[in-house]
Amino acid sequence: MKHIYLNLKRFDVPAELGGVNRLAPVQEWGRTIVESTQEPLKKYNPQEVEFVQFLPEAHLLQAVAALSENSLLQIGSQSVYRDNTAVGGNFGAFTTNRPASIVKAMGCAATLIGHCEERNDKKGILAEAGVSNMSAVNRLLNKEIKCAMDAGLKVVYCIGETSEEQPQWEQVLGEQLSVGLEGVDKSKVVIAYEPVWSIGPGKTPAGKDYITKIARFVKEQTGGMDVVYGGGLKTDNAAMLASIEEIDGGLIALTRFTGEIGFYPEEYLEIIRLYLGE
Ligand SMILES: O=C[C@H](O)COP(=O)(O)O
């Protein structure tokens, strides 16, 4: 089974406010993306490939409502809170947070946990508190994964090393896996590997040998979990990634990296065609 994930980050922010949304008014953005991508995806075999689109919370209800009959698309949230509602327990006193129970109730099938931008946010809070040992980040993410799974959501768990961490990549990724997945049913989780040092303008893209080495490491450490490339599946690397046996799919975000950068539905569909080879 291949997994094609789409992380729509905050691509809903209009260009005039500094964002990359030139697609649709904010009020219609989630629906527009689902409606402009789901029909062409119906030609793929759901036994062979799954498609999940992760949207900011404000767009989840609209995206779910836009799903057509027999759509192959599934909708997911961008992470969940590390605590949840429970009958007889917390009734929803979670101002500003996003418990997994409501993500599931809104019709989502999955959630994306531990993206490098989420890790950065948590690291920043710890740094403000004077904490330099960042292992707490993995423990917080482990709680989020457990809440998501208790709520019946599939989990895509992101791991990756920064440029500073690269010399100790085995230790860093090993801890992200062992602590993040402690006590978790791995059969319901897919790993997204993000070489953080390689993401962003002007960075050297990760090559085939490096990605293969990491994917093998993850599979060895986890008993063969599915691993997708999370550093950005795009036009430039789709064929290379498709040629790596140990890679089980990819995480798409921006589809255009020069000029009017952003996410464009036709380019997303083209990346999928290039990766799946059909
Ligand atoms: O979520 C995906 C990764 O952060 C890569 O994003 P990008 O392809 O837009 O650089």
| Positive/negative CA dihedral, 247, 256, 98, 77 | negative
The total of other beta-carbon atoms located within 10 Å of residue 93's CB is: 8
Please tell me if the CB atom of residue 232 comes closer than 6 angstroms to any atom of ligand 1.
yes
Q: Sort residue 135 into left (φ over 0), alpha (ψ -120 to 50) or beta.
A: alpha
Spell out the domains of the chain, with CATH numbers in brackets: 2-276 (3.20.20.70)
Please tell me if the CB atom of residue 255 comes closer than 6 angstroms to any atom of ligand 1.
no
pLDDT, residue 225, reads 98
192: nearest Cα among 230, 222, 218: 230
> d(Cα 194, Cα 173) in Å, to the nearest integer?
10
> d(Cα 89, Cα 109) in Å, to the nearest integer?
24
pTM: 0.97
pLDDT, residue 278, reads 75
Ligand 1: which atom is nearest the Cα of residue 7? 1
Average pLDDT, the chain: 97
**Partners of 77 in the beta sheet?**
55, 111
How many angstroms separate the alpha carbon of residue 89 from the centre of ligand 1? 37
> d(Cα 213, Cα 244) in Å, to the nearest integer?
10
Top mutation candidate among 11, 158, 194 for ligand 1, by most atoms within 8 Å of CB: 194
Top mutation candidate among 3, 4, 9, 268 for ligand 1, by most atoms within 8 Å of CB: 9
Burial 157-194 (b: 16+ CB within 10 A, else e): bbbbbbeebeeebeebbebbbebbbeebebeebbbbbb
Nearest residue by C-alpha to atom 8 in ligand 1: 232
pLDDT by 10s per residue, the chain, length 278: 999 999 999 999 999 999 999 999 999 999 999 999 999 999 999 999 999 999 999 999 999 999 999 999 999 999 999 999 999 999 999 999 999 999 999 999 999 999 999 999 999 999 999 998 889 999 999 999 999 999 999 999 999 999 999 999 999 999 999 999 999 999 999 999 999 999 877 788 899 999 999 999 999 999 999 999 999 999 999 999 999 999 999 999 999 999 999 999 999 999 999 999 97
Catalytic site residue from 3, 115, 118, 144: 115
Please tell me if the CB atom of residue 20 comes closer than 6 angstroms to any atom of ligand 1.
no
Catalytic site residue from 118, 144, 161, 194: 194
* Residue whose token pair is 């009958």: 87
> d(Cα 130, Cα 83) in Å, to the nearest integer?
24
pLDDT, residue 50, reads 98
- How confident is the model over 176-230, as pLDDT tens digits? 999 999 999 999 999 999 999 998 777 888 999 999 999 999 999 999 999 999 9
> d(Cα 4, Cα 51) in Å, to the nearest integer?
5
The total of other beta-carbon atoms located within 10 Å of residue 240's CB is: 16
pLDDT, residue 216, reads 98
Provide ipTM, 2 decimals.
0.97
115 part of the active site: yes
194 part of the active site: yes
pLDDT, residue 133, reads 84
> d(Cα 211, Cα 112) in Å, to the nearest integer?
20
